[in-house]
Every structure is written in structure tokens, then in C-alpha cells.
Amino acid sequence: MINHSLKHLASMLTSKEVSSVELTQEYLNRIARLNPEINAYITVDTELSLAQARAADQRIANGDAGPLTGIPIAQKDIFCAKGWKTTCGSKMLETFIAPYDAGIVEHFNAAGAVNLGKTNMDEFAMGSSNETSYFGKVQNPWDRTRVPGGSSGGSAAAVAARLCAAATGTDTGGSIRQPASLCGLSGLKPTYGLTSRYGMIAFASSLDQAGPMAHSCEDMAIMMNAMTGFDQRDSTSLQREKEDYTRDLGKPLAGLRVGLPKEYFAEGLDAGVAKVIEAAVDEYRKLGAEIVEISLPNTMLSIPVYYVLAPAEASSNLSRYDGVRFGHRAAEYDDLMDMYCKSRAEGFGAEVKRRILIGTYVLSAGYYDAYYLKAQQIRRLIAEDFAKAFEQCDLILGPTAPSTAFKAGEKADDPVSMYLQDIYTIAVNLAGLPGMSIPAGFAPAADGKELPVGLQVIGNYFDEARMLNAGHAYQQVTDWHTRMPEGIA
Amino acid sequence: MSLNTHDVKRIAHLARIAISEEEAEATLVKLSGILGMIEEMQAVDTSGIVPMSHSQDVTQRLREDAVTESNQRELLQSIAPAVENGLYLVPQVIE
Amino acid sequence: MSSWEVVIGLETHVQLNTKSKIFSGSSIAFGAEPNTQANVVDIALPGVLPVLNKEAVQCAIRFGLAVNAEIAPRSVFARKNYFYPDLPKGYQISQYELPVVGKGTLTIEVGDSEKIINITRAHLEEDAGKSVHGASPGQSGIDLNRAGTPLLEIVTEPDMRSAAEAVAYARKLHELVQWINICDGNMQEGSFRCDVNVSVRRKGEEKFGTRREIKNLNSFRFMQQAIEYETRWQIETLEDGGKIEQATVLFNPDTGETRAMRSKEEANDYRYFPDPDLLPLAVSAADIDVIRATLPELPSAMKARFEREHGLSTYDAGALTASRAIADYFTATLQVFGGEAKLAANWVMGNVSAKLNEEGRVIADAPVSPALLAGLLKRIADNTISSKIAKDVFEAMWAGEGDADAIIERKGLKQVTDTGAIEAIVDEVLAANAAMVEEFRAGKDKAFNALVGQTMKASKGKANPAQVNEILKRKLAG
């Protein structure tokens, strides 16, 4: 059951081959068995999940089932879900019970999906290894000594270890795609504005976007159908016709122009990873795609630009955590100032504090033009690189991450080297484009361990259906996406 | 632009984050590394380039002026650290 | 003292007349129980986002049009970052580099002269909540009902040179925002709050002195007192060889003094940047035209029209357009009356306004409605009653005794215009006052007035004074 596609699970549910309660219980049992080590979930609430499963079964009995009704999915702990503890991976929100539902959560509730729990993540989504979570690090199911990537590391590990049928993630600089790559699954960051940010705890507002993490592109298309849509409570949500993201699945790829940015295959890319990506490109050639070389000259600048803009926005977004209306308040303090400073020093972890300080610094008097404004100008250059590239090609292919999963602790003390994990993913967020990672094979780590490699597919604005089709076509001729880690059966 | 621990403490104060002397020193090393990386931007000539705040060229949507919310004080204050008579309590505010 | 010049600029926070908050659907009604009008957005829960209120934007544009300002086709909301318990997000959403309303002007009158005050800008922003002191010992209570209330902050150039000018500007602005219906003008409830920047310099000096900002003045009287005190204090400080430090000060109405705020001692670094949760605000020429069409005739235009169409003096026209309520009252009266505008103007500015002052009422609550007043004016105009009797009728109408006609009828106040009847009274008066007649004939003109008085008295004030005059003259000459 744990290896079926969402489509197959839905047909099993509607044909009463299995009930949602049984399916949910199966996953809850797996979570009870495997999660204590993997630590993919921060919060599991059996009663809340089973109540949703019973309601789903009722809906199915009433003949009112949709494609996700009764399907157990996991929510990244960045989405507020009414009545659920919603921590964002932070001590600051350790006891925060959300009093309202995020737009995304509403969508899944309306679809009748079952929420299995809230998945672990880097604190406030700031990290690429899930090591900054206050609730402990997450193991990569492919090698328990390695990180699952981040910040949606819990969701990635949960999908990889079959602790849910699919999951949600959020991606500010690669937080869906990089963990998808490191854990051997499919993850999609949609065009900015397609998924509601209402109730999704903000990291960097102009870059954050929610998306699906699943086993296949077909599963992601079904998830996208439920997740996307205009939300009037989010001013940056785009008013567009509702799309069916499954509509192009199965279309032939003949004539598809695929661009390979030369900067994505330059120094810094692990040789094993490069080999896997080249093989994947060959597969696309066989599927009828035309391969063209393109250039994204400002790629290297995306890291400095991102590490100005994202911390700047974050420093302001995180000012609301002041211990006054919700969240952590220090036990002892002398006065108001002391209460602020202690509550925030105690409630935030080291990486979050670091980014708040960077953001505060770059926005402070006298530095705004040199940092923030400059970064926004280069952000436009980066977006223009993509616009030019898409005159030559329909989709861009390349690696998602420069290497396979690294060992826990390996980069924890070196922020800059950790930030380089996102070298191929960040530019997509800066431009607001859709980006996707799909499993493309395995590459050996230094210790010889074979680890998953993700192929990144970048599309033009609103081209998710075409991307999903391209991924689906690849997944019809390869089986990387069906591979399962050992020791999780 | 090189930072010193005094700067780190000043920024931390602006961000309302308590920081000890040792923490400031350790933070200084890391922040300097990050800022060094950020400095790469300065090599780019950006004269005349319009800053990009949003990825789509769209403008603000406006909400009709209607009261759509009702009193939720009890629920919202159930998660507050300190309340009294419907007020959030904080150490004395000095004007 | 006379060698010094004071330089004043104002920043006024005008609470806009909307139903809901600027970025959420919570009510902004005044006086609710604490935190009952503070929803998830207003208390800044994790994950919430702002959506801009259309009416707030329209109010800003109405103001811009009313002061002949440029309306920005594209303006931007920014975050002003600082920590304060009544500021839930840790930043205030405001407009910084690109405000919706640009440069405009407002003309004020001080004494007999007019002066143009330049408005630098007006921008939309959200209000903060309130700190309530004395909740528990050593604690403050925070009420966020007011957080997110839409404000228009109107900033002037440092154009004013006296407390009187500053107050005249504030009053004029106060009337204007009510006139165009963007603010209820309630200063007690904080709907109109002024921050006043005051500096002094030697006369002839071009450079401005260091300014101190007097925060949150919510009455014109306090504004006058605060500026006068602050000006004196700054001059004395400088004359004593001291230096003015830039500061934010509060005015204490009990002592009449200003003092620097303790909490704002440290230099602020607000780290403004464009709010990524909001997109640029676009206002098209078509949007502006639609709003312009809904704008009432502005006081300056109405004043000019009163002078032109009704032949009123500049002074009268100015007084009648001092507030929208007065202008509306006058216009309605004149419409029903249909007679001479000057008569209506005199009554509105005279008896009506005296009565209102006496009773401390506003014109909207006057017991004599424009229709009632017009009824009285008609009877004056057609000579049914004299102006003197009219005052009594007005008093009776004010006391709720009915309309003018009913009162005149009931009390028998109708003017006597029958020549025969008046002649009879005049004859009696002349017979009874032979001495006065002699005096008149001896050349004492005063005696004539006395005889008129006697005649009016004998008619119980009802005889038509013009006829009395005429008949007396004729008889005395005969």
C-alpha cells in the first residue's frame, strides 16, 4: 500500500478495497515505529488524523470523493492548522497552537485529505540540512548518518521513508527541491503567487512559496490541483483561471527545447552528480527533446543577493516574536527591554539569530543602498537572464544540488559552505519562476555510499503543467522515483 | 566593510536579541564570513537598473471596506503569555 | 525675544472614515472592550498577511484633490521597523519614499491676511494599539483594538511662523477633512492628532535651528500653549548659551510645559524597506476622475461662489464656509427662504451662532432647523413682523414652540401696517407728549426718535417702523 500512487490509492478508497481509517492507521503505525529515529514529524495527533479519516470515509460512502479524499498527507510545520501545534521548528513557537487554518490547509481539508501530522523543518525554514530545528535533526532515510536537506527535510524524509503518501513543503531558496534531491523524491516549487501564503509562517515574503513533495510527477500534479488557487487574503496571490495540472501528462516530448545552463555544470559540481545529470539529459534526448546550451551569467551572484534579501525580509518578519501576544516569553526579566531581548535570545536558535542580525545590518541606516537596493537590482539581472534563456528553450535542466546528502554536522559550523548548497536553486526563487527536482539516479559519496541525485527542471512562469509532463515522461522510462531506501519496510 | 564586536552588539540590540561578549565574538566571525560573501555584489555595475521587489509586474488589489471579523478575544488570548481583563500584559511601558 | 523667529511644521494624523481597518476586516468602531476588535491579522499571528482597504485609498485621494496635490500613479508601502508593545508586527506599515499624495497647498487666514501653507505629502499608514497604564503594579496592558486603524499622515513644509499660524492651519485642516468626509474630526477620541515640529532661529538667519517635535496634541488650545511654551523654552535655552538637542517631547496640559520623552532617547533606526507582502498601489487617471466626481464643492470654491452669486462680503462668505455644517445649514436655509442672501447670512452668523455658543451646541443639533429659520425669514421679508419681533419669534422657535407662522398667530405678533390704525396711535402719542413735540419743533432731532419709540411702545412693537416714521414726519410737518 505504501508504494502506490495517489491515483491508485484514490481508486482503492473509492472501490472500498481499503478505508481511509485503515490507510491512515497504517501510516500512523509506520510513524510510531520509524519516526522516533528518523524524526520526520514534530507533531503527530492520532485522534485528529483518525477523525479526519472517518470523515473522509463518510464522504467516500456518500459518493462525494475527490482525488485526495481519504489520502494521508503530511504538512510541513510551517503551515498553521487550527488546533494543531504549529512550531515552525522553533522553540519560539514550542507551545503555539494555531487558532486558524492556512490557505493551503483549508485546500487540503476541503479536498478531504487526512493530515497525518506536522513535519520537522529547519527553524523558520532557515537551513539546508534540517539541523537548525529546535526539535532535533532529521535522518536521511537513505543513510541515517546523513542530512535529508532542508528546510523541508521532515517532509522529504517522511515521503522517502513512506511515512505519508505525499507532503507539503515550502521553498524560499531551494527548501523543497534540495531535500527532494537529497532524499530521492519529487518536489515542485510553483511560480510565485500560485499558492497561498496566508497562514504559511513567513521567512522571506517575496520568495516563499508552497509546493508538493511526492513520489512522482503524477502525484505532484494531483497535489498541485488541490494546492493552487487565488486567495484574497494574500495580496501577492495571483488571480488566474484554475488549471488542471494533470492535463499534459502523457504528451510526447518531441520538439521540446531543453536548455542546459553552462554555469550549472561548472566548478563546484560533484563529478558523480554531473554524471547522473548528463545521463538524464541523454534520456531526454532519446525522448525527442532538442538540447541547447544556454547561459545564466549571473548565477553566482544569486547567493549574495539572496543572503541580503532573504535575511532583510526575515529580520522584519520575525519581529512579531516578542513574547507579548503569543510564543516564548523569558521566565525572568528586569523590564520591557530585557523581556524582549531575553525572550528572543532564548526563543530563536543560532542560525535564525544570525540571519536576523544580517538582515538588520543590511537594512540599517547608511547601508540600505549598498546592500538591499543593490541586491534588488541584481535580482532583476538574474530574472532577465532567465527571460533571455527562455527565448532559446522551453525548459531548463540541470542539477538541483551540487552534491548528494552530506553527513550530519559536516557543514553545521560553516554557514557559507552550507549556503552554497542552494547555488542552483536560489536564482529560481529570485526570479519567481517554477522549479522542480526529480530523482535521476544515484552517485557515490566519498565513503562509497550510493545516494540519490535530483535533476532540476526549471520552467517559464506558469509552465508547471509542461514541467510536470516532462518529468512524467522521464518517470515513464526510468524507475529512479520508485526506489525505496533500505530498512524502512 | 569590516565589522567589530561593538557593531555586532549594536545590531543585536536593534534586533532585540540579548548577546553576551563571547557570543558577540563568535557571531562576529560568522557574520564577517557571510558579509564577505555578500561583498561580491559590489563588483557589479547596476547603474540604471530598476530594483526588483516582486517577480510579477502586478499591482495591489484592494479589499472592499466591510467589517468581516467578529470578536475572537478568548481564543486568541488563550495562547498569550500574560493577559488580564482582556489586556495583554507587559512590563511597564515608559513614555 | 523679538530678534528670534519660530519655525513650525506640522504632521497630522487623520483617522479615516472607514468601517474596517486598513489591512484587515476588523471594525474600527471607538470604545469597544479591549482586544475585541483585534483579529488574527491585527495581533500579527504567524502567517497572517495584509490586504489594503479600498475606502482608505479613496479617502487619501479625496484629500489630495482637495489640496490640489499630485496623486501618485504608483505608490509603495514600506515597513517602519521598531519594537514597541503596541506595535504587534514589530513594524508599522506606512508609505515612505513614494507616498500616494504629493505636494499640495492649503490657504489659511490669520487676522486679515491669507497665507499659503505648503503640504509636502500625505501618506497612508496603520495606527498602533494603546498602552493602558496601571493594569497591575509595574505592568502595562496592551489593547490592540486601534492597531491597524487607517491613518492619513499629512506633512507640511516648515512654513508657519507663529503659534497662531500653526493653530489656524490645524483648524483649517480639521474643517477640510470633515468637509470632504474622510474623518469625523473627533479630537477627544484621537481621530485628529497633531505632531508639531518647532525650532527657533535668529531673524534673518537662513539655516533652520534644531527642532523638537511635540507629539500627539489633541486640542487646538493645547497646541497654542505647547508651541508658545516650547518657543519660549528654546529661546531662553539658546540665550542662556545652551544647545537644543533634537528630541520628541510631550505637552503636559496640567503644568503647561513640554518635556522630552524618555523612551525615545536612543536614536531610532527604522530600517525602512518596501513591504514584500504588499504590491505597488496603482491609481489611474480614470480612478481619480471617478473620485473627483464624488467630491463636494470645496470651501474655497463655495466661498468665492457666495461672494459672486449672493453678493456676500468676503468676511461673511468666509464665516459661512468655515465648516461644512454651517455651509450646509446656510445653503438649506437660503434654498427654502428664496429671498435675500444677506438676511439669511446675518441670521445664521448672528442669532443662530450666538445661541449655539451660549448653549455649547453644534449646528447639526440646533433646534431651529434651516426650514424653520427660512419660515421666519419669509415673514421678516414680507413685513409680517419686524426684526425686533423676529428675535422673540426665534427664541420661541428655539424653545420648541412651533414654526414662525404658528407663533406669530398664537401670540398675535403680526405687524400693524394699516395706515389708519397707525395714524390713530400716532395721534394719541402726539397728544400725550406735547413737550416732546415742542422740543422737536425747536430743532431737537432726538425728540423725533423718542416719539417713534413711544409710538412703537404704544403699538406693543407691532406697528411697522417705516410707516410710523413716515406718518410721524408727515404729522409733525403739518
What digits encode the pLDDT tens for the residues A376-421? 999 999 999 999 999 999 999 999 999 999 999 998 888 888 888 8
Spell out which residues of chain B touch residue A383, defining contact as CB-CB under 8 Å.
52, 55
The interface pTM score, or ipTM, of the predicted complex is: 0.97
Predicted pLDDT of residue C327 = 95
Residue A95, chain C, CB below 8 Å: the answer is: no
Spell out which residues of chain A touch residue B82, defining contact as CB-CB under 8 Å.
329
For chain B, the chains sharing at least 3 beta-carbon pairs closer than 8 angstroms are A, C
CA distance C297 to chain B (A): 25
Spell out which residues of chain C touch residue A98, defining contact as CB-CB under 8 Å.
45-47
Kindly identify which residue of chain B lies nearest to residue A98, measuring between CA atoms. Answer: B79
Confidence of residue C135 (pLDDT cuts 50, 70, 90): low
Nearest to C280 among B60, B64, B73 (CB): B60
Residue B68, chain C, CB below 8 Å: the answer is: yes
Kindly identify which residue of chain B lies nearest to residue C262, measuring between CA atoms. Answer: B95
N-terminal to C-terminal alpha carbon distance within chain A? 11
Q: Which of A129, A133, A151, A315 is catalytic?
A: A151
A286 is catalytic: no
Query: Nearest-CA neighbor of A367 among B41, C93, B49, C96?
Result: B41
What digits encode the pLDDT tens for the residues C333-372? 999 999 999 999 999 999 999 999 999 998 989 999 999 9
Q: What is the mean pLDDT of residues C121-150?
A: 93
Residue C141, chain B, CB below 8 Å: the answer is: yes
Secondary structure class of A214 (helix, strand, coil):
strand
Strands C52-53 and A450-459 come out as unpaired
Q: What is the mean pLDDT of residues C191-203?
A: 96
Q: Give the DSSP letter string of C136-154.
A: STTEEEEE-SSTT-EEEEE
What are the beta bridge partners of residue C416? Answer: C463
CA distance A462 to chain B (A): 11
A175 is catalytic: yes
Written as nine digits, the cell of A202 is 513567513
Predicted pLDDT of residue C456 = 87
Q: Could you give the strand order of the β-sheet that contains A395-399, starting from the edge strand earlier in sequence?
A: A41-43, A114-119, A72-76, A166-171, A209-214, A186-189, A435-444, A450-459, A395-399, A257-261, A290-294
- CATH number of the structural domain C419-477: 1.10.10.410
CB contact (8 A) between residue B87 and residue C143: yes
What are the residue ranges spanned by the domains of chain B?
5-41
CB contact (8 A) between residue B77 and residue C36: no
CA distance A109 to chain B (A): 21
Q: What count of CB pairs under 8 Å joins A to B?
A: 164
Query: Nearest-CA neighbor of C348 among C334, C365, C361?
Result: C334
> Contact, C269 vs C44, CB < 8 A?
no
Per-chain mean pLDDT for chain C? 93
| H/E segment holding residue A449 | none
Spell out which residues of chain C touch residue B95, defining contact as CB-CB under 8 Å.
250, 261-263
Amino acid in the structure at residue A433:
L
Q: What count of CB pairs under 8 Å joins A to C?
A: 101
- CATH number of the structural domain A6-233+244-255+467-482: 3.90.1300.10
- If one compares A85 and C267, the residue with the highest pLDDT of the two is A85
Q: Which of A20, A76, A137, A302 is catalytic?
A: A76
CA distance C118 to chain A (A): 28
Phi, psi dihedrals of residue C154, rounded to the nearest 5°: -110, 120
CB contact (8 A) between residue B86 and residue C74: no
Kindly identify which residue of chain A lies nearest to residue C92, measuring between CA atoms. Answer: A316
Nearest to A238 among B35, B56, B72 (CB): B56
CB contact (8 A) between residue C131 and residue B93: yes
The pLDDT tens digits along chain A (489 residues) read 889 999 999 999 999 999 999 999 999 999 999 999 999 999 999 999 999 999 999 999 999 999 999 999 999 999 999 999 999 999 999 999 999 999 999 999 999 999 999 999 999 999 999 999 999 999 999 999 999 999 999 999 999 999 999 999 999 999 999 999 999 999 999 999 999 999 999 999 999 999 999 999 999 999 999 999 999 999 999 999 999 999 999 999 999 999 999 999 998 999 999 999 999 999 999 999 999 999 999 999 999 999 999 999 999 999 999 999 999 999 999 999 999 999 999 999 999 999 999 999 999 988 999 999 999 999 999 999 999 999 999 999 999 999 999 999 998 888 888 888 899 999 999 999 999 999 999 999 989 999 999 999 999 999 999 999 999 999 999 999 999 999 998
Spell out which residues of chain A touch residue B13, defining contact as CB-CB under 8 Å.
341
pLDDT at C296 over 80: yes
CB contact (8 A) between residue A381 and residue B39: no
Predicted pLDDT of residue C478 = 67
Predicted pLDDT of residue C459 = 85
DSSP 8-state assignment for residue B84: E
Q: Which fold has domain B5-41?
A: Histone, subunit A (1.10.20)
